[in-house]
Amino acid sequence: MQSWSTTDVPRLPGSGLPLRLYDTATDSVRPTAPGATAGMYVCGITPYDATHLGHAATYLAFDLVNRLWRDAGHTVRYVQNVTDIDDPLLERAERDGEDWVVLGMRETALFREDMEALRVLPPDHYIGAVESVGEVVEMVEKLLAGGSAYVLDDGTGDVYFDTAKAPRFGYESRYDEGEMLRYFGERGGDPDRAGKRQPLDPVLWRGARPGEPSWDGGLGPGRPGWHVECAAIALNRLGSTFDVQGGGSDLRFPHHEMSAAHAEVLTGEWPFARHYAHAGMIGLDGEKMSKSRGNLVFVSRLRGDGTDPAAIRLGLYAGHYRSDRAWTPVVLTEAEARLARWRAAAALPAGPAADATLARLRERLSDDLDTPAAIAAVDRWAADALTSGGADTGAPGLVRDAVDALLGVRL
Ligand code: 5CA
Ligand code: ZN
């Protein structure tokens, strides 16, 4: 699938610091330790509705990972999927009397535009579920051949993953059985389906049902399960172990647990990802922003109203990426005021020396993406520049470059 256009990233003097990131699997902030090339997979959208600020916050968090690795001298290999065939997409298309292909293409196109407007660096591989059906079939066939998958004995053609064959199952989310069952039921799983070996076993291949699209490729007509889609796409482009698997905190279980289990059982290698990183949920009016609740603020709507995408970035970065937080009109107003102050200061012919500001930005962001403290450092420089001036003619340019390269905001 076509990715979106990239944007220039200024090179900064000196070198960035190694990035430390919270890892869900070990419940600790640990250094990422990529080689020359860092590998990152971030779960993409299910394109049945427009990009809302919750999605944007998650992709903006991982955009920081990308930028900090680059600043530290790594090449980044970034992979993202699009779940362009799954139950929610078919349900929405059915509800609106629309073709599911057209719906998926339209919302994916809008997502690309939103990401470009937000200056999110594009993935190197942007892969749809539909275009990876062949990869999924191959993976499921191997799991079947290895005895870690089974065909349900009810004539549906559904293939399930046998979670009992994954020796470390549960290591990623660290949830107990009860929590796993609850989240599995809430997030697309079918714990009560008759005939499964374990209630938590997830579907790998869903046999064709009347009126549903299906593909034929050796498993009988059907379509891919959700978790195996990401396992196959990541494995085939990043190898059996890569640096960061990312997404929102609602993917901690079952999605990331299952994808890791599929891949690890297949390759015999562990861990699938060295870090499982999860962004907090953005809410509106006290509830998680979600398509099913309908309490959404769309990036495209804000853009349509003339909101500067840079202010959306700063508004979302005003809170820490891991904290669940609310989007309110005040968040946006404050971000717009901040952006205006930073721009006014960066446009001055000279300002106070900014080497320490750059060092502070690097230091705070490399410590689990501490954007509130990074923003405070720029606030201080801008306030100094605007109130006391300064004689360093290189400082405004340095701050402009640092804010652009590290926070993705062009002043
Ligand atoms: N296609 C799958 C991943 S393979 C999916 O979860 N799609 S999604 O469209 O529902 O979500 C896309 C990304 O946005 C996921 O990482 C999800 O965790 C994140 N996300 C969804 N809602 C929110 C929210 N309210 N706040 C923050 N992130 C969110
Ligand atoms: Zn995914």
Which atom of ligand 1 has the smallest separation from the CA of 282? 26
- In angstroms, the CA 272 to CA 262 distance is 9
Secondary structure element (H or E) that encloses residue 371, with its range:
helix 371-388
Question: Is any atom of ligand 1 closer than 6 Å to the C-beta of 127?
Answer: no
Distance 44 CA to ligand 2 centre (A): 6
Q: Whose CA is nearest to atom 8 of ligand 1?
A: 45
What is the chain's Cα-based Rg?
A: 22
26-to-13, 38, 83, 230, 277 alpha-carbon distances in Å:
34, 20, 28, 22, 11
* pLDDT digit string, tens, across residues 266-278: 999 999 999 999 9
- Res 285 pLDDT > 90: no
Judged against a pLDDT cut of 80, whether residue 294 lies above it is answered with no
Separation of alpha carbons 374 and 338, rounded Å: 13
> d(Cα 261, Cα 15) in Å, to the nearest integer?
36
Where residue 295 falls among pLDDT bands split at 50, 70, 90?
confident
- For the Cβ of 43 lying below 6 angstroms from any atom of ligand 1, the answer is yes
Is residue 123 in contact with ligand 1, taking CB distance under 6 Å?
A: no
Beta-bridged to residue 37, according to DSSP, are 75
Return the ligand 1 atom nearest residue 81 CA. 4
Contact call for residues 1 and 126 (beta carbons, < 8 A):
yes
Cβ of 40 closer than 6 Å to ligand 1, yes or no, is no
Nearest CA, atom 17, ligand 1: 248
Pairing of strands 282-284, 325-326: parallel
d(CA 215, CA 134): 9
Total Cβ atoms within 10 A of residue 411 = 20
6-62 pLDDT, tens digit per residue, is 999 999 999 999 999 999 999 999 999 999 999 999 999 999 988 899 999 999 999
Residue 246 near ligand 1, beta carbon < 6 Å: no
Q: Residue 262 and residue 401: Cα distance in Å, rounded?
A: 42
Q: What is the pLDDT of residue 288?
A: 72
CB 151 within 8 A of CB 142: no
pTM exceeds 0.85 for this model: yes
- To the nearest 10 degrees (0 to 180), the angle between helices 309-317 and 371-388 is 120
Q: Write the residue with the smallest CA distance to atom 3 of ligand 1.
A: 43
Q: Are 200 and 191 in contact (CB under 8 A)?
A: yes
Q: Which two tokens stand for residue 224?
A: 């891919």
Shortest-distance atom of ligand 1 to CA 229:
4
Q: For 352-410, what is each residue's pLDDT tens digit?
A: 999 999 999 999 999 999 999 999 999 999 999 999 999 999 999 999 999 999 999 99
Alpha carbons within 13 A on the beta-carbon side of 373:
13
Q: How far is the CA of 358 from the centre of ligand 2 (A)?
A: 34
Ligand nearest to the CA of 316: 1
CA–CA distance, 335 with 332 (Å, rounded to integer):
5
For the CA of 289, the nearest atom of ligand 1: 25
Residue 77 Cα to ligand 1 middle (Å) = 21
Q: 124 CA to middle of ligand 2, Å?
A: 16
Residue type at position 315:
G
Structure tokens at 21: 């990131």
Question: Average pLDDT, whole number, for the chain?
Answer: 96
What are the backbone dihedrals phi and psi of residue 53, each rounded to the nearest 5 degrees, phi first? -65, -25
Phi, psi of 274 (to 5 degrees): -75, -30
pLDDT of 265 higher than 70: yes
Atom of ligand 1 nearest to the CA of 281: 26
CA atoms within 13 A on the CB side of 312: 32
Q: Which residues contact 13 (CB under 8 A, 6 or more apart)?
A: 358, 398
Q: Which ligand is nearest to the CA of 107?
A: 1
Q: Which ligand is nearest to the CA of 48?
A: 1
> How would you classify residue 27: left for phi > 0, otherwise alpha for psi between -120 and 50, otherwise beta?
left
User: Phi then psi for 46, rounded to 5 degrees?
Assistant: -100, 110
Strand partners, 246: 42, 277
Place of tokens 């599929």: 262
Q: Return the structure tokens found at 339.
A: 């952006």
Give the lowest-confidence range in 22-36, 232-246, 280-294, 388-402.
Answer: 280-294
Q: Give the pLDDT mean for 283-297.
A: 75
CA nearest ligand 1 atom 9, residue: 45
Check residue 291 and give its pLDDT: 66
Has residue 217 got a pLDDT over 90?
A: no
129 Cβ closer than 6 Å to some ligand 1 atom: no
- For residue 332, pLDDT over 90 is answered with yes
pLDDT, one tens digit per residue, over 122-169 is: 999 999 999 999 999 999 999 999 999 999 999 999 999 999 999 999
pLDDT digits (tens, 9 = 90+) for 69-101: 999 999 999 999 999 999 999 999 999 999 999
Any atom of ligand 1 within 6 Å of the Cβ of 58: yes
CA of 45 to the centre of ligand 1 (A): 6
Residue 104 near residue 47, CB atoms below 8 Å:
yes
